[in-house]
A and B are shown apart, each in its own frame.
Chain A
Amino acid sequence: MKNQNRTSVKQVMHALGLAVLGICIMTLTGCGNKASSEEKAAIEDGKTLVEKGRGTVPGCVACHGANGEGLEAAGYPRLAGLDAGYIKKQLQDLARETPPPGVVIENVAKDYSKTPRIYSDLTVFSPGLRHDAVMSSIAKQLSEADIRNVAAYYGSLPFQAKPVAADYQVLERGQDLALRGKPEYGLPACVSCHAPDGEGFGADFPPLAGQPAAYIVGQINKWQSGARDNDNLGLMRAVADQLTDADKLNVAAYYANRSLTVKGN
């Protein structure tokens, strides 16, 4: 009796195991293909928009290079190999109208000692503002689907950085700031969010390595002047406010000097 029970249990387990295996294979093959085919279509659509443009929207290749490598001399950023989520957010923020002067949007609604919140998800985040003389007008002409496609295309591109030579002392100072920050001022190191090699991490922390030095300096200037204010928790704003003019140039030169390889998919 006992043996019979055991065998039947074994059989049931065997059947269960087979069923689980089958489900696994189905999900792996069926759903996987479907998702990737959608992504492939998005990348294809993105590619045509990037290369040819549409109507009054110029092709991105004009400024950002044929392979999204950017333009070192003019300080146009590279887009190849950036996180798709990051590109998507930036385009959305560039398309957003800047509020009239005098209107200040707090990043996070902070003072809940006065306004106790009943719902835990009732969090007010800034919509994110990023103003650029050239890109804002272009981003306003893009639809949601366009933004998604372009982001998917650039996110899939491979990238190989071309290190730019710089003065040794400048690189040394830039490295010190990048790896250690300024502890006595409470300024964190760049690598603590932008990853150890400056390759960026996720949709919130873009890469610094492989970006033109002029672009990095220009963006920090924009944080300081308020033309850009679209970071997670206002982290970068707090950091940018503490960077002196020398810091910006040193650290930008350091990251333009780094080598970086992004595989792409």
Chain B
Amino acid sequence: MMRMLSFLLLLGLITSSCFAAELKQTEVHRVEYDALANTPTALIREKAIRQIPAINPGEYFVPPEVGDIPTSKYGDMVKLGRNIFSDTQHYAKRYAGNGLNCTNCHLQEGRKPYAAPLWAAYPMYPAFRNKTRDVVTFEERVQDCFKYSMNGIAPTLDSPEIKALTAYAHWLSKGAPINKELPGRGFARLSKPRDPTSVNGEKIYKENCASCHAVDGHGKKFTNRDGYMFPPLWGNDSFNHGAGMYTVKGCAQFTKANMPLGKGWTLTDMEAWDVCTYIWLQERPSDPRFGWYMNTFAPPLGGN
């Protein structure tokens, strides 16, 4: 009896599942594209070879998606950190002395490999820094960003801004190994075939950079809102002499991997050195660490 019953049940299940499958087939309307296909079908151009060397998927750490930020107090802090990071001019205005946002260098909300991604930096701290000749924590490192790259005032270590930024970096590096150098950390590594020249750099700047960052390097402001659409590379609203981007090496490594935007790795190493030498020669706020004279008589002029 029991066997009979189980057999009937099984039969019923199979038939019902078949019907369900049939129903689904009629309901689902056909899609015109393959959602999983990774190649564009319209890419039929004769010379469709990518100018950019393809980055192998799976080569770099992939941070969690924004939709997966947990709904908790921790999640709120992460969200605040993300807001500060992508819109520093609004969410941490009192600490910013120029017109930049964190995302101007840490591209794509701090996610892009070779644009100093947060997921590669956070697990490496505390670390010894040559700049300060001391072991610093991640929070102290963020303070330095505010002092030099943002040309502003460092938030205190217990401030909500530092807490939020740390929480955001912590969340972005979810699943990343602690204290292990990940591929894509920092910027590109460059060769230096000869000494760079700013003469060549000026040509490269006017050709490749000036259409967005303006010929005078002061960036381009929005016409319909506050702030910069394209960030200033020098001038009062840019980073100061103490910033890592001020060094020709730091700038060249960033430029090589990321500029012109969307066409990273297209400049040669030497072009990156040259254009950064040109940028290095321009005027910008002075280093807050050095010189009582400069700090007394020529203090940073501040933001917009």
- The listed residue (B43, B108, B206, B208) touching A233 by CB distance below 8 A is B208
Q: Interface of chain B, helix or strand or loop or mixed?
A: loop
Q: A183-B111, A188-B108 are in contact. Are A245 and B37 (CB under 8 A)?
A: yes
Q: A108-B207, A188-B261, A225-B45 are in contact. Are A244 and B39 (CB under 8 A)?
A: yes
Q: Are B67 and A184 in contact (CB under 8 A)?
A: no
Residues of B within 8 A of A193 (CB): 212, 261
Asked whether B50 is an interface residue with its Cβ less than 8 Å from the other chain, the reply is yes
Asked whether A220 is an interface residue with its Cβ less than 8 Å from the other chain, the reply is yes
Q: Are B207 and A234 in contact (CB under 8 A)?
A: no
Q: A176-B66, A184-B62, A201-B229 are in contact. Are A244 and B211 (CB under 8 A)?
A: no
Tell me how far the C-beta of B300 lies from the nearest C-beta in chain A, rounded to whole angstroms: 27
Residues of A within 8 A of B34 (CB): 245-246
Residues of B within 8 A of A187 (CB): 262
Asked whether A226 is an interface residue with its Cβ less than 8 Å from the other chain, the reply is yes
Q: A188-B262, A241-B40 are in contact. Are A176 and B65 (CB under 8 A)?
A: yes
Number of interface residues of A (CB under 8 A): 46
Residues of B within 8 A of A183 (CB): 107-108, 111-113, 117
Asked whether A239 is an interface residue with its Cβ less than 8 Å from the other chain, the reply is yes
- The listed residue (A180, A204, A246) touching B108 by CB distance below 8 A is A180
Interface residues of A in 173-193 (CB under 8 A from B): 176, 179-181, 183-189, 192-193
Q: A117-B203, A204-B211 are in contact. Are A224 and B261 (CB under 8 A)?
A: no
Residues of B within 8 A of A186 (CB): 52, 55, 112, 262, 264-265
Q: A188-B261, A241-B48 are in contact. Are A246 and B35 (CB under 8 A)?
A: yes
Residues of B within 8 A of A225 (CB): 42-45
Q: How distant is the Cα of A108 from the Cα of B207 in the complex, in angstroms?
A: 8
Asked whether A243 is an interface residue with its Cβ less than 8 Å from the other chain, the reply is yes
Residues of B within 8 A of A235 (CB): 260-263
Q: How distant is the Cα of A235 from the Cα of B258 in the complex, in angstroms?
A: 12
Asked whether A123 is an interface residue with its Cβ less than 8 Å from the other chain, the reply is yes
Number of A-B contacts (CB under 8 A): 120
Interface residues of B in 23-71 (CB under 8 A from A): 32-35, 37-48, 50-52, 54-55, 57, 59-60, 62, 65-67
Q: How distant is the Cα of A224 from the Cα of B57 in the complex, in angstroms?
A: 21
Tell me how far the C-beta of A130 lies from the nearest C-beta in chain B, rounded to whole angstroms: 14
Residues of A within 8 A of B206 (CB): 120, 123
* Chain B, Cβ-Cβ closest to A226: B45
Asked whether A69 is an interface residue with its Cβ less than 8 Å from the other chain, the reply is no
Residues of B within 8 A of A136 (CB): none
Q: How distant is the Cα of A181 from the Cα of B262 in the complex, in angstroms?
A: 10
Q: Are B108 and A189 in contact (CB under 8 A)?
A: yes
Q: Are B263 and A238 in contact (CB under 8 A)?
A: yes
Residues of A within 8 A of B261 (CB): 188, 192-193, 235
The interface of chain A, by Cβ under 8 A from chain B, is 101-102, 104, 108, 113, 117, 120, 123, 172, 176, 179-181, 183-189, 192-193, 195, 199, 201-202, 204, 220-221, 224-226, 232-235, 238-239, 241-246, 248-249
A sample of 19 inter-chain contacts (CB < 8 A) reads A108-B207, A113-B268, A123-B203, A172-B67, A176-B66, A180-B66, A180-B111, A183-B112, A186-B264, A201-B222, A224-B42, A224-B44, A224-B48, A233-B211, A235-B262, A238-B262, A241-B40, A244-B38, A245-B42
Q: For the A-B complex with A224-B44, A226-B44 known, give 17 more contacts whose Cβ atoms are closer than 8 Å.
A: A123-B207, A183-B113, A183-B117, A185-B54, A185-B57, A187-B262, A188-B108, A201-B229, A204-B211, A224-B45, A225-B42, A225-B44, A234-B51, A235-B260, A235-B262, A238-B50, A238-B263
